[in-house]
């Protein structure tokens, strides 16, 4: 990077020097012309005629011409001197600006990475970073046959604190708790905020349960002094659950899940600190039960996929449908992804879930193709799946099994997903590209986008987040953002989809802004495959068998 900057500077410098030297040469030529004219005039005025002898005489006898004769040399030297100075000054300015821009880019990228891996309220690592550290600690511990511990801490009755004192004061307490926990730990230990009032602690080097007990006691001591908030003094208690590797589990998901079970057991048994034991499995929270049920539903392929069309704004044709997962739960009814995807992401179930959604979608595409509807499908990909080196192979297998052309599949990946581990994400993304599977940046605008690297991503589409689109008719800022994103995408040679199109007015604005594709309730809600066809056939949108 540095040497390429130096190279560019050298090229720029010599370019500038050559330009300045050109003007010095013009100066020399003008000076010679002046000498020639002056010599001619002196010869003519003094001898009455212009001849070689008279010209030589003028040059020898006229003092003013001698001075004039020096001019080309002075011009040449002066021109060279000025050109070198100018070129180096300009070069230095360019170098200064380049390194300043580069420094700014590094700061912004660090900020983006920090945002994706840290909790914005407490500045502690978030779940993603904790799991990453846990994974590394586990591989070291299994290599060295040593122990490690994880503690999950949940504040007691925090909901009441939040409800009675307000969220602002609740946040103040969470920040104080974070600072106290961090202060009580050794440098090598990590504390993370898992969400809400739940924290986790990773102790990568512990020799025995005794070590963990000592640290738990220190943490409890740290939380003991009253908290001061909004002029009030409050006591906050917490429940601690802990697990040891390898005693209570060998892999990250089991350990995290069991640490939570232990924490719930501590809450139920009104004990402040408990190690996991099989007998506490009955204390699994509703969430854990739901997770076990989700695992079963995936194994038995009982998830459903709804499809939401994406239409070409110019032609009104449905070009693709987005696969959106649904779970028909025997007790809770139809569950939306927001109710189970975050959990599936935390526990690692998301990989199996995505494989199932992909399979169901490709199967449906094969059915549609048989009926003459040659439509593409887009599938949502979470961070874990993008970082899973096996997923591209699973996709290759499914494409072959259902005879779907890879060009007909698009993967929707959010910016934040890519930022978590950019290098690994890019590796997988280039694999998809080599397979001719297209990619879209989903929820564009909500994460932090480093525009500098956007151009290097092997993606086909930017999908503007619905939070900017839905109200763009009455919100000027939103409209400006949508306009800029459309222009940016087109400049980069990418297609743009606007999601969350709910009204005719928004669609009209998008048409004027030259947006390519629209998706939203105006066109259709996500629907089961069979309903989609009948719904679209009653609309003005074209979802018709392609002419073969």
Candidate segments 116-124, 126-134, 378-386, 424-432, binder of Ca ion by CB under 5 A: 378-386
Q: How far is CA 202 from the centre of its chain?
A: 26
Total binding residues for Ca ion by CB under 5 A? 4
Q: Does 415 bind Ca ion (CB under 5 A)?
A: no
Residue 527 DSSP code: B
The nearest distance, CB 522 to ligand C2E, in angstroms, is: 7
269: phi then psi, degrees, rounded to nearest 5: -90, 5
The pair of three-digit structure tokens given for residue 180, joined into one six-digit string: 């106290």
Binding ligand C2E by CB under 6 A: which of 119, 320, 442, 516? 442
Question: Is 443 a binder of ligand C2E (CB under 6 A)?
Answer: yes
CB 368 within 8 A of CB 361: no
Cα 118 to Cα 168, 382, 516, 525, 529: the distances in Å are: 20, 18, 35, 34, 39
Q: What is the token pair recorded at 296? A: 């079963």
Q: How far apart are CA 73 and CA 27, in angstroms?
A: 10
Tell me how far apart the alpha carbons of residues 181 and 183 are, in angstroms, rounded to a whole number: 5
Closer to ligand C2E by Cβ: residue 415 or 443: 443
Token pair belonging to 192: 């993370």
Nearer to ligand C2E, 447 or 526 (CB): 526
- The span from the CA of 382 to the CA of 411, in Å, is 10
Alpha-carbon span 75 to 64, nearest angstrom? 17
- Is the CB of 267 or the CB of 463 nearer to Ca ion? 463
Decide whether 318 or 341 has the Cβ nearer to ligand C2E.
341
State the binding partner of 341 from Ca ion, ligand C2E, none, CB within 5 to 8 A by kind: ligand C2E
Other CB atoms within 10 A of residue 231 CB: 6
Q: One symbol per residue from 308 to 327: x for binding ligand C2E (CB under 6 A), - otherwise; what is it?
A: x---------------xx--
Partner in contact with 325, chosen from ligand C2E, Ca ion, none, beta carbon below 5 to 8 Å by kind:
ligand C2E
Tokens of 345: 């992401």
Q: In angstroms, what is the minimal distance from the CB of 244 to Ca ion?
A: 40
Which token pair is 488?
A: 């940016």
User: Judged by CB, which is closer to ligand C2E: 75, or 340?
Assistant: 340
Q: CB-wise, 245 or 541, nearer to ligand C2E?
A: 541
CB crowding 118-127: b at 16 or more within 10 Å, else e: bbeebebbbb
Among 260, 412, 421, 478, binds Ca ion (CB under 5 A): 412
- In angstroms, the CA 42 to CA 58 distance is 6
Smaller CB distance to ligand C2E: residue 255 or 411?
Answer: 411
> Contacts with ligand C2E: how many residues (CB under 6 A)?
24
Q: Under the criterion CB under 6 A, does residue 526 sit at the interface with ligand C2E?
A: yes
Q: Among 320, 322, 325, which residue's Cα sits nearest to residue 305?
A: 325
Query: Of residues 241, 348, 392, 500, which one binds ligand C2E by CB under 6 A?
Result: 500
CB closer to Ca ion, 355 vs 498: 498
Rg (the chain; Cα; Å): 35
Say whether 251 sits in a helix, a strand or coil: coil
442 binds Ca ion (CB under 5 A): yes
Site for ligand C2E in 331-370 (CB under 6 A): 336-338, 341, 350, 354, 357
Interface ranges with ligand C2E (CB under 6 A): 308, 324-325, 336-338, 341, 350, 354, 357, 380, 382, 412, 442-443, 466, 470, 499-502, 520-521, 526
Give me the residues that bind Ca ion (CB under 5 A), please: 380, 412, 442-443
């Amino acid at each position: 990077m540095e040497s390429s900057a130096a190279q560019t500077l050298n090229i720029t410098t010599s370019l500038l020097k050559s330009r300045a030297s050109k003007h010095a040469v013009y100066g020399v030529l003008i000076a010679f012309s002046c000498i020639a004219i002056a010599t001619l005039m002196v010869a003519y005025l003094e001898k009455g005629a212009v001849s070689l002898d008279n010209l030589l005489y003028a040059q020898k006898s006229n003092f003013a011409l001698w001075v004039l004769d020096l001019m080309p040399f002075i011009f040449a030297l002066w021109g060279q001197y000025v050109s070198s100075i100018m070129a180096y000054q300009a070069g230095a300015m360019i170098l200064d600006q380049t390194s300043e821009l580069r420094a700014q880019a590094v700061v912004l990228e660090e900020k983006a990475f920090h945002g994706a891996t840290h909790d914005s309220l407490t500045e502690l690592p978030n779940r993603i970073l904790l799991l990453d550290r846990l994974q590394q600690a586990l591989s070291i511990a299994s290599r060295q046959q040593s122990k490690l511990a994880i503690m999950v801490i949940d504040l007691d009755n925090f909901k009441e604190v939040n409800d009675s004192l307000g969220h602002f004061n609740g946040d103040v307490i969470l920040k104080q708790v974070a600072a106290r926990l961090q202060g009580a730990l050794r440098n090598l230990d990590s504390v993370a905020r898992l969400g809400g009032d739940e924290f986790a602690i990773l102790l990568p080097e512990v020799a025995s349960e005794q070590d963990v007990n000592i640290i738990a006691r220190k943490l409890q001591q740290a939380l003991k002094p009253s908290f001061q908030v909004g002029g009030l003094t409050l006591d906050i208690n917490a429940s601690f659950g802990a697990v040891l590797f390898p005693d209570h589990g060998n892999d990250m998901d089991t350990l995290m899940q069991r640490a939570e079970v232990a924490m719930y057991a501590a809450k139920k048994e009104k004990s402040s600190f408990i190690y996991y034991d099989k007998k506490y499995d009955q204390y699994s929270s509703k969430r854990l039960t739901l997770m076990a049920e989700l695992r079963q539903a995936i194994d038995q392929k009982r998830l459903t996929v709804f499809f939401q069309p994406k239409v070409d704004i110019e032609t009104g044709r449905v070009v693709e449908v987005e696969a959106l997962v649904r779970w028909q739960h025997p007790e809770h009814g139809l569950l939306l992804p927001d109710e189970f995807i975050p959990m599936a992401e935390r526990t690692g179930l998301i990989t199996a879930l995505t494989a199932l959604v992909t399979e169901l979608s490709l199967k449906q595409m094969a059915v549609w193709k048989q009926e003459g509807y040659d439509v593409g499908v887009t599938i949502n990909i979470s961070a874990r799946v993008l970082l899973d080196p096996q997923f591209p192979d699973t996709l290759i297998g499914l494409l072959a099994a259902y005879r779907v052309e890879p060009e007909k599949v698009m993967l929707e990946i959010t910016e934040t997903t890519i930022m978590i581990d950019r290098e690994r994400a890019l590796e997988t993304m280039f694999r998809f590209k080599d397979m001719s599977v297209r990619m879209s940046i989903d929820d564009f605008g909500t994460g932090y986008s480093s525009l500098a690297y956007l151009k290097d991503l092997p993606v086909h589409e930017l999908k503007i987040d619905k939070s900017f689109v839905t109200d763009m008719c009455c919100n000027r800022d939103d409209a400006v953002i949508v306009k800029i994103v459309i222009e940016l995408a087109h400049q980069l040679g990418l297609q743009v989809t606007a999601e969350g199109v709910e009204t005719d007015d928004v669609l009209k604005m998008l048409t004027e802004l030259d947006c390519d594709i629209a998706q939203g309730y105006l066109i259709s809600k996500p629907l089961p495959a069979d309903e989609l066809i009948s719904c679209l056939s009653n609309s003005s949108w074209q979802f018709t068998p392609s002419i073969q």
